[in-house]
A and B are shown apart, each in its own frame.
Chain A
Amino acid sequence: MDLFLVNNLIWMLPLICVFAFLIIALFSQYIPTQGAIVSIGSIGIAFLIFIFVLIDFVNGGLLPIHSSFTWIDLGEWQISWGLLIDRISIVMIGLITFVAFLVQIYSVGYMKGDSRFGWYFAVHSLFAAAMLLLVLSDNLLLLYFAWELVGLGSYLLIGFWYEKKSAAEAAKKAFVTTRIGDVGLLIGIIILFKASGTFDISSIIHVAQEGGISNDVIFWSSLLIFLGAMGKSAQFPLHVWLPDAMEGPTPVSALIHAATMVAAGIYLVGRMFPLFELGPGILTIISIVGIVTFILAGAIALVMTDIKRVLAYSTISHLGLMMLSLGSFGAPAAFFHLVIHGFSKALLFLGAGSVMHGMHDQTEVELMGGLRKKMPITSITFLIGTLSLAGIVPLSGFFSKDEILISIWEYNPWFFPVTLFGVFLSSLYMIRLYCLIFLSSARSDYSEKAHESPRIMTYPLIILSVLAVFSGLLAFPSPITEWQGFAAFIDDHHKFHMVPWITAVSIVVAFSGAFLGWVIYGARKIEITAISKPFKFIYQLVSRKFLFDEIYSWIATKIVFTFARWLTVFDRVIVNDTGIDGVGNSTKKSADRLKYFQSGYLYNYSLVMVIGLFLMAIIWWVIE
């Protein structure tokens, strides 16, 4: 395929989803299935486009495909809109289009009978468009635009059932919390624009590498951009919104709050990595934030009893692991884990949705149990997702985690033992979740009467579980093709390699976590209270999520609101009454007075014209 065509084709990726959004939003009631078919069709076509582009990209020797046009050209500086396909963005596009496609199909079954069925798919299309634009954009301005649009999609979908107060609150919380990061991102972008004179990412990095930006500027702008990434990727301490975001429909959690949008932060750090490298200490900060998130969220996941919240904390925890990997020069490993986690977590969320579908929307694991027999497909696929995420050999999660461990050992050896503890936690809580839901016997009427979900929901589960099993093989170089392993695909300098003792340790740790989980929750050999008793304080602390919500709401009510109340007075009296209303009223008054000039009489009009003539003459003669 010639380059010209591909250049245009990549524009179709976001555009086709935008069109789908417009069509569904405007004409939903005239389309069969209320527009779901348009949404699924458009994302399906986007996936096909991805395959074409991928083929072309590989045939072109993995060279970036760039297409841009000038928006505003003012000679000295210009703003252009451009899309870029490179090794990172192609991976993201594949993940986004594929998972979104499956999730939308699944949603047809899950959302059946909802009163805003069409709108749901419209927002899904909007989100897909924004997400694709985000990963494709070649400049920070467009990226920021997409970044906010993604946030909007997330907001609309979390609060999709806005009649429920908790959903509306959760949507607000997500929006406000991520906004803290977004402000940082925006300031960072502006600083970089001031320093380099361009929004174009590769130019900025080029200027920085040539030494055109001072270290201080790089440090602060990187830190602020990383703040944006922390907000979107729910990193400690901005992670509080993600668990609440589970108020949205479950397929939304699978797509947005597990596989794609929360990965945007990882993507951003990966994209700006050459800049971050130059900033003194930035990578250490990223690593620390990552590891703290990894451990804290893992600990909380262990005590949550809501199926979706366990998965949410597990997502936060794994995003922390990816950040840690990025901070340890392990960008390829981080992206590998991003993809595999995306598949596995989407699978788990969709599985959770299937469980909820069979359980009349109950999410409390205490009410479940024994679903293995009643929901066989969900149970098996969920088990696959669980094992993959727990990092059990030979499922895909094992391979990506292994690569991350290697890069941590090579660049951040001090973090290595703590990371292993996190790995242990993550296999423990995953097995716990599986055991509580599917093993032993039914603990409530709901689980007694649970039933398997329709095929439109189970097929996506099966497809995702196949990927969760086999996608780990991408790590290995292929003997027959030119494939050098995933790491080398992302970055030529990262050759595939294994460190046998790390692999062995990781296997042992993951297995011991899983075994312990099975002993406690599956076989019930050890009473849980026996363990938690000596650590009552810690248990309390963890189960109250380290009091983050309490601290934040204290800060919000005591400090922010008090300060805000003072500001309100200022705003009311000075800004509003004097400033805005004052200016507005005087403008209106002068407009009102002008009205009387417009008398409607011809002789008045011509008189004004004559006066105008005289004034012009006076200006010319007297003033010039």
Chain B
Amino acid sequence: MTNNFSLLIPEFLVTGLAFLILSLDLFVSEKRKDYLVWVGVIGLLIILGITLLTFTNGILYQGLLVFDDYTNLFRIFFLIAGIIVLISSNEFVKSNIKYKGEFYGILIFTILAGMLLSSSSELLTAYISLELLSFGLYVLVAFDRYNMKSNESGVKYVLLGAFSSALILYGISNIYGVLGTTRFDEISLMLTSIDDLNPFLILGFIFLFAGLGFKLSAVPFHMWAPDVYEGSPLPITAWLSVGSKVATVSLVLRLFCESLLQIGNEWQLIIIVLSVATMLIGNLGALVQKNIKRLLAFSSIGHMGYILMGISALISVNEDGSVSTEMTVLVINGIIFYVIAYAITNFAAFVSVIAVFNHSGQDSISDFAGLSKRSPFLSLVLVCSMFSLAGLPVFAGFTSKFYLFNAVGAQDLLWLVALGIVTSLISLYYYLMIARQMYIEKGADSAPIKVSSSIRIILMVLLVAMIIGGGFPSPLMDLIQLASEALIS
């Protein structure tokens, strides 16, 4: 069987782009390095165009990598998200980061990792893609070398990350030891043929879940998140909260849907427990934060709780203990829409925070006092993204929560939905605290904040996307439907 390598064109091109930037970094003068970001942006735009034009379905390496509508949706997502994060880090990098070329080069590698994760359908391939993502992030988190906090968070992230990688690897080896395969489809076949689950297999799954839970910052594997978010350079915090999360979700969804559905009765409870703990701790933890990065860290933990709620509801267990997958597509739709809406909204929030930080160098919540006077535009975007994160109507956050909760409710997990709604209400409190700072409190500084036109454009686009996602989601839902069906077939 020959491999059709044209399927990998976007991935090859992204790799090439990363190397191009890294090597340009060696040659161009220090002053011109500010333009490297635009090389990256234009490169990604071209790759996005090529991806859209040349997409075909197929598999590579006997099914280690699968290219279907699901892959394509996430590929496009990562390319667009990459463009956004590159543009929004431009100014920050100019004034805070010394080695610009390396920063952008490594960032682009993490984009590549996200694209690969959504296509990997084998545990080791997934593991390698996950490590590609994590290694990039380890470096980027500690990139602000002369900042103690950045160093601290880098060390924490790399040590705990290594721990979680070890868990994943150990889990994979257990699974391989019992089932003799690491391919998702074969795992699924093996699982149907055996009646009782071997304890080592269970142990393997638990280790795997724990490792993935670390990447998703699910409670109790979440404790790194607030510290690392706080210490990282701001654009990387944004990328951690969006890129790495969505990448992991794309892997987890494929893993669960392609190999684990029929033993859903076994793992459902564990995921529910994780989801409940994550929703509660994430949203409660956010209540007492003083720093906006930590607050958004806890908020993203809370959001991962909703995603886990969706994962736990991928199947429903009938009364006789058998597993029903009738509504699975509905739930997958909900999860994918939720992560996309979450990504758009979180980006909007972070990019506005970045814009404020670029001006003031401050990131505690009280520094946002009086922002509505200093920059009505930024505070408008920030308040809209807070509403969207809290799940208030007209914004994407509402519609996505509605779809997800409805799907979970359709799987007879109404109490879980009720808990989700209660924690959303709790989250409204801390989101509104930020709004209060901006619109009601008076700030010490009243100088207007200058927002560069590139960030302004990005924010406009995100704001419009938030509103369209909330008011007119059907075109996006059609794409998502295709992706979900590709995953289930």
Contact = CB atoms under 8 A, between A and B. Distances in A.
Do A and B share a complex? yes
Interface of A: 26, 69-75, 81, 584, 587-588, 590-592, 594-595, 597-598, 600, 602, 604-606, 608-609, 611-613, 615-617, 619-621, 623-624
B285 interface: yes
A74 B406 contact: yes
Say whether chain A's binding surface is mostly helix, strand, loop, or mixed.
helix
Given A611-B220, A617-B206, A72 B399 contact: yes
B488 to A, nearest CB: 16
A609 B471 contact: no
The 8 nearest A-B residue pairs measured at CB:
A612-B220, A591-B287, A605-B223, A591-B284, A591-B288, A608-B220, A616-B206, A70-B474
A148 to B, nearest CB: 13
B206 A604 contact: no
Contacts of B403: 72, 74
For chain B, give the interface size range: 35 or more
Contact of B223 (A26, A75, A604, A615): A604
A584 B422 CA distance: 12
Contact of A587 (B160, B223, B287, B402): B287
Contacts of A73: 474, 477
29 contacts: A26-B380, A69-B474, A71-B472, A71-B473, A72-B403, A75-B330, A81-B471, A591-B288, A592-B288, A595-B288, A598-B223, A598-B227, A598-B285, A605-B160, A605-B224, A606-B163, A609-B210, A609-B220, A611-B220, A612-B221, A616-B273, A617-B203, A619-B270, A619-B273, A620-B266, A620-B267, A620-B270, A621-B202, A624-B265
Contacts of A624: 265-266, 269
B281 interface: yes
Contacts of A609: 160, 163-164, 210, 214, 220-221, 223
A69 B156 CA distance: 49
Contacts of A594: 281, 284-285, 288
A204 B376 CA distance: 43
A608 B220 CA distance: 6
Contact of A606 (B160, B202, B219): B160
A604 B222 CA distance: 12
Nearest to A600: B227
A503 B274 CA distance: 80
Contacts of B210: 609, 612-613, 616
Given A620-B267, A624-B269, 18 more contacts: A69-B472, A69-B474, A71-B471, A71-B474, A72-B399, A72-B473, A74-B403, A588-B287, A597-B223, A612-B213, A613-B207, A615-B220, A615-B273, A616-B206, A616-B209, A617-B206, A620-B270, A624-B265
Contacts of B270: 616, 619-620
B419 interface: no
Contacts of B365: none
Contacts of B429: 584
Nearest to A609: B221
B52 to A, nearest CB: 24
Contacts of A621: 199, 202
B19 to A, nearest CB: 34
Interface string B203-231: 10011011001100001110110110000
A619 to B, nearest CB: 5
A602 B159 contact: yes
Contacts of B474: 69-71, 73
Interface string B266-284: 1101100110000001001
B169 interface: no
A598 B222 CA distance: 10
B201 to A, nearest CB: 11
A39 to B, nearest CB: 20
B164 to A, nearest CB: 8
A587 B284 contact: yes
Contacts of A606: 159-160, 163
B324 to A, nearest CB: 16
A588 B209 CA distance: 31
A598 B163 CA distance: 18
B426 interface: yes
Nearest to A27: B376
A292 B209 CA distance: 73
Contacts of B226: 598
Contact of A591 (B203, B285, B471): B285
Nearest to A612: B220
Contacts of A611: 220
Contacts of B163: 606, 609
A610 to B, nearest CB: 9
A613 B209 CA distance: 9
Contacts of B330: 75
Nearest to A611: B220
Contacts of B274: 616
A544 to B, nearest CB: 44
A429 B34 CA distance: 77
Contact of B206 (A71, A587, A595, A620): A620
B206 A613 contact: yes
Contact of B269 (A74, A605, A623): A623
Q: Which of B223, B380, B406 has the most CB of A within 10 A?
A: B223
A597 to B, nearest CB: 8
Contacts of A587: 284, 287, 426
Contacts of B402: 72
A76 to B, nearest CB: 10
A295 B270 CA distance: 72
B160 A26 contact: no
A350 B287 CA distance: 54
A621 B472 CA distance: 45
A537 B285 CA distance: 70
A74 B403 CA distance: 8
A447 to B, nearest CB: 46
Nearest to A25: B376
Interface string B460-478: 0000000000011110010
A615 B209 CA distance: 12
B290 to A, nearest CB: 11
Interface string B239-273: 00000000000000000000000000111011001
A26 B376 contact: yes
A347 to B, nearest CB: 38
Contacts of A597: 223
A128 B214 CA distance: 52
Contacts of B288: 588, 591-592, 594-595
A43 B160 CA distance: 61
Contacts of B269: 619-620, 623-624
Contacts of B471: 71, 81
